[in-house]
Structure 1
């Protein structure tokens, strides 16, 4: 049977949950998400979820739900917080690593072209910026910033979902011009 847009959205939401739980990495999530929105049948959608456990409502779960905004206890994040922390660390450090890779590549190419090992000037880019990021990482992890950021992201996601639902309700409540008889 052919799938509807709502079915694709439900699968996309389940994939988002699997990503936040750490069951999917970002690359696999992206691939599955593209396949979900391109799916035409229920079989294609079901194939994207076969290796993922079903979602159990929090009230029926044997595991206590984890509040992403809850403080970290004893310096150890909750198991579900690992994915949140990893995502936050990637957001903080990835731009730095990308820029340093470009700068070191420029230094290496210029050294190679000059035939001499030039002064390693990328240290002046990497050093201060890296020191600032180390301080930010330590203060962010001790202050629970990854969980706060994840909670804010979830609130934004819920707002967008509610907005889409309101739009679809308003769209279905208004009569369509094509439904009225021509007069």
Structure 2
């Protein structure tokens, strides 16, 4: 997610009473889902609460409906920085390390979520079939796991790539 306040990512700030009745867009719902995904990955909400909030987020029609889903997860101060984000003015190395840690956490969360989903599907189809079927989830779980472990076991390579990318982005910003 981009830097800055969660509330800045909405088309209109849902905290503003003048905006609470405005209709929410798909992009607004995506902001809510992103915050919920990050909170789940950080262990701020458990699986049941995450699923309940995601279901509610998909039903958001008015911007004001997003507030109760985020009020205990997103800072009400503006602009709030995301947790584990490099502070303003951080070195390229610090920003690359913060980005690497966030990306690694997101990859791990995706791997676990995919594993749970696929094993659940396998289990449901096995129960329906009345017999244990071939454990096919092993292939996609291993494939995604290899990608995660590649990042986990070679952090310096990936941090260096991120440093180069961040340095290029900063140079472009200065040139503009």
Category of TM-score, reference length = shorter chain: 0.3 to 0.5
TM-score by length of 2: 0.45
* Larger Cα-atom Rg: 1
